[in-house]
Amino acid sequence: MKLDHIIDKAKKKALNSCCNYKISALSFNGKGELIFSTFNRSRFDKHGGGQHAEMHAMLKSGPSLKTIVLCRVNKHGKLLPIHPCISCKTKAQELGVKILTVHELLWQNCQKIKNVVIALLLKFAKNMT
- Domain presence at residue 116: no
Could you tell me how far CA 17 lies from the centroid of its own chain? 16
- Domain presence at residue 34: yes
**32 neighbors 1 (Cβ within 8 angstroms):** yes
Identify which of 42, 63, 60, 59 has the alpha carbon closest to the alpha carbon of residue 51. 42
- Domain presence at residue 117: no
The pTM (predicted TM-score) of the whole model is 0.81
pLDDT tens digits for range 6-34 = 999 999 999 999 888 899 999 999 999 99
- Domain presence at residue 70: yes
Range of the domain at 58: 3-102
